[in-house]
Homo-oligomer: A and B are copies of this chain.
Amino acid sequence: MKQVLSIFEANNVIWQSVFLRHQKTQNHMNRFQELCETHAPTLAAARNAIATREFYARWAEAPSGKIYGETANADGEVTFNNQRGNQFTRLVQQGDAWHGEEESPYGISMGITYPVSSAANLMSRAETAQKQWSALTADDRAAVLIECLERAAKDFFEIGYATQHTTGQGFVMAFQASGPHSFDRALESVATGHAALTQFATEQTWVKPMGKISVTVQKRFHAVPKGVNVTIGCSTFPIWNSVPGMFASLMTGAATVAKVHPKVVYPLAILVASMQHTLQSLGLDPHIVQLGVPSPEHPLTMELIANPRTGTVDYTGSPSFGAEVERVCMQHGKVCFTEKAGVNTVAVESVENLDAVLDNLAFSILLYSGQMCTAPQNFFIPESGITTPDGTVSPDEFASRLAAKIDALAANEKMAQTFGAIQNPSTLERITSAAGQGATVIRPSAALAQPGFENARSVTPLLLKAAATQRDIYEREWFGPIAFVIPVGDFTQAITLMAESVRSHGALTTSVYSTNPDMQDYAERELIAAGAPVAFNFTGSIWINQSAAFSDFHGTGANPAGNASFADLNFVAARYNVIGTRRIG
């Protein structure tokens, strides 16, 4: 605890220096001074949180009228409904054509079109904007970016509806994931980037004593972005997965082009449009951040990556396309951060309260119908049974009790929005395919009603039982509401299979239930050596699917699921170079 306290103190000193520097320079012209002072407490709080890894949230996660204004929800819904069927005209950037192909997984009509630009136009504007942006100080950029987030937070409810009707997430989850949780991740990247940039002085008078004389050199150190950032977004978490790379790049001086998934444009369009207006109102080039809207003629991704102005690429999406993105980045010498996907595993060895465990696991499986890179898929259960205070529970009993928990939740109409809708029709085909692979169906997937949305694409999870030897079936990512119960010889075999799975197929999460400290230590050692994070004994209101901004590193970067970690030092430090000048006299 001493260390944590001291890191806090140290950061306070750093922050005070930042703040004082601005006070000292008030005789100089600094048009962002007031903004720096306004947002200094937020920056300091965020920097303290990343250093201590304590709980911190800048934006409340409850979509509550008491917090966001009594009319905020209704206003957001009106704006959302007015936008449907119309051109999205809020972006400052100009397009060459209009295109849109979004469909709501809840079955309502969307019909929104967006301005489409060529990769060349996007990158040319980004390069111009970046010259202005990279010349600002780290403090100024942090203040401007926090101002962008504060203003865009007024759009949380519209962002929630836009996310619900593109990704299929239930409204509350959509609000949280694309609103406060995303904005906290963006602020985390700002704080981490600011920490990296302010690690070393930007100028110094260097005096080397040489006996009776001394040599004096005036030094300056310029942090120069490696190039324009291209962030390739995904269809399930269009803001949450894109803002870490965008804001890490922006904070370290780069302009960014956020290329969206063709079916999920609206949520990020709201954020980018708001940011462009904020930048413009502050006298900055709005093209510091741009939206890249793909069309069937111009899928954009590879053209953007190969552009000579591009320096860094952030990618979230499928492993197969991700591998191609990595290959093209290597070929063109671009720094590439990826979050692809993995196979998330669970071992249950001994528990204090199996019901509480099953409640937690059932929720983790059905939350947004398993369309999360962090959702658990494979549950390894010792054949000798799970040790509980009421005796051992066999793998079959575990499976049937887990199925019963899912049944109960599926029968509760209030839970429908937790299941959400299926973003991509191919996920439904995947459920059918999974059921036909040779594993035993414990609980079939079935249609689920979404009150208010007759045509919603919504289903309950498929629960299967596979033999430990059927690795060709379960050691694949079955993205969606698909889970396997797998009886194994013992806990050691479970951990061995999990570690091998992490090494071969990657993982964003692993989860272990054991009341035995020795077994916990063993699991921690083996799984960390394999490159996966581990969660022990999650019950109650915390789920393996969730990672907390400012505290949990999302993605380890140490296994095939991807090389990015939101947001470790490397996630920001690899985006720029420090170039020095030296002057005599």
Contacts and interface: CB of A to CB of B under 8 A. Distances in A.
A579 B195 contact: no
- Most chain B CB inside 10 Å of its own CB: which residue of A55, A532, A573, A579: A579
Contact of A573 (B330, B540, B568): B568
Given A7-B17, A195-B199, A224-B558, 5 more contacts: A6-B14, A7-B198, A13-B13, A536-B582, A553-B580
Interface in A201-217: 201-202, 204, 206-210, 213, 215, 217
A538 interface: yes
22 contacts: A5-B17, A7-B201, A10-B14, A13-B13, A53-B201, A55-B206, A55-B207, A55-B208, A215-B541, A217-B542, A224-B531, A226-B558, A533-B581, A535-B582, A536-B583, A538-B582, A540-B584, A553-B578, A558-B577, A558-B579, A573-B574, A574-B574
Contacts of A221: 53, 553
A28 interface: no
Given A6-B20, A583-B537, A584-B537, A53 B204 contact: yes
A206 B558 CA distance: 24
Interface of A: 2-7, 9-11, 13-14, 16-18, 20-21, 24, 50-55, 195-196, 198-202, 204, 206-210, 213, 215, 217, 219, 221-222, 224, 226, 330, 520, 524, 528-529, 531-542, 548, 551-553, 556-558, 565, 568-570, 573-574, 577-585
Contacts of A198: 7
B581 A51 contact: no
Contacts of A6: 13-14, 16-17, 20
A200 B50 contact: yes
B578 A556 contact: yes
Contact of A569 (B5, B529, B539, B569): B569
A142 to B, nearest CB: 14
A379 B551 CA distance: 53
A204 to B, nearest CB: 4
A552 B18 CA distance: 23
Contacts of A215: 540-542
A569 B16 CA distance: 23
Contact of A54 (B18, B204, B570): B204
Contacts of A552: 219, 580, 582
B204 A551 contact: yes
Contacts of A14: 6-7, 10
Contact of A4 (B199, B201, B582): B201
A584 B201 contact: no
A528 B221 CA distance: 10
A309 to B, nearest CB: 12
Contacts of A528: 222, 224, 579, 581
Contacts of A532: 579
A578 B568 contact: yes
Contacts of A208: 55, 542, 548
Nearest to A50: B200
A538 B581 CA distance: 12
A537 to B, nearest CB: 5
Given A536-B584, A540-B584, A579 B53 contact: no
A182 to B, nearest CB: 17
Nearest to A195: B199
A514 to B, nearest CB: 11
A22 to B, nearest CB: 10
A210 to B, nearest CB: 6
A229 to B, nearest CB: 16
